[in-house]
Amino acid sequence: MLEGDAEADVERAMLGEQGLESSLLKVGHHGSTTSTTPAFLARVAPQYGVISCGLRNRYGHPRQEILAALQDARVRTFRTDTNGISCFALDGKQVTPQPDCGWPSQP
């Protein structure tokens, strides 16, 4: 699920929909406290989460509260500020992290 910049009000609206479960969640709004509410996280129930944010960004993203919520929900979290690029293999049934997916190594 690619949440983009959806915030709590959009997440509340999505809770009325069927089929929100997803193995992989692109965490909303760069890991800010305006997204990834407890109810939304519980319904999506992801195995993996990706947070897109810059290193030492001025907004303090991702917020510790969101990181703690993801950890408590046992979501294996990847962050672009500390992990760099994150890649996953998706086959329609399974999600598999691809840790060596960055730029091809140079000879």
- What would the pLDDT profile of 4-57 be if each residue is shown by its tens digit? 889 999 999 999 999 999 999 999 989 899 999 999 999 999 999 999 998 888
> Is 76 a domain residue?
yes
> Is 1 a domain residue?
no
Give the amino acid at 61. H
Residue 88 burial by Cβ neighbours in a 10 Å radius (0-12, 13-18, 19+)? middle
Residue 39 structural domain: 8-97
Q: Using CA atoms, how far apart are residues 15 and 52, in angstroms rounded to an integer?
A: 23
Q: Using CA atoms, how far apart are residues 85 and 97, in angstroms rounded to an integer?
A: 11
> Is 81 a domain residue?
yes
Instruction: Convert the pLDDT of each residue in 57-101 to its tens digit.
Output: 888 789 999 999 999 999 999 999 988 888 999 998 999 999 777
Q: Using CA atoms, how far apart are residues 77 and 52, in angstroms rounded to an integer?
A: 11
pTM over 0.85: yes
> Is 102 a domain residue?
no
**For the chain, what is the domain count?**
1
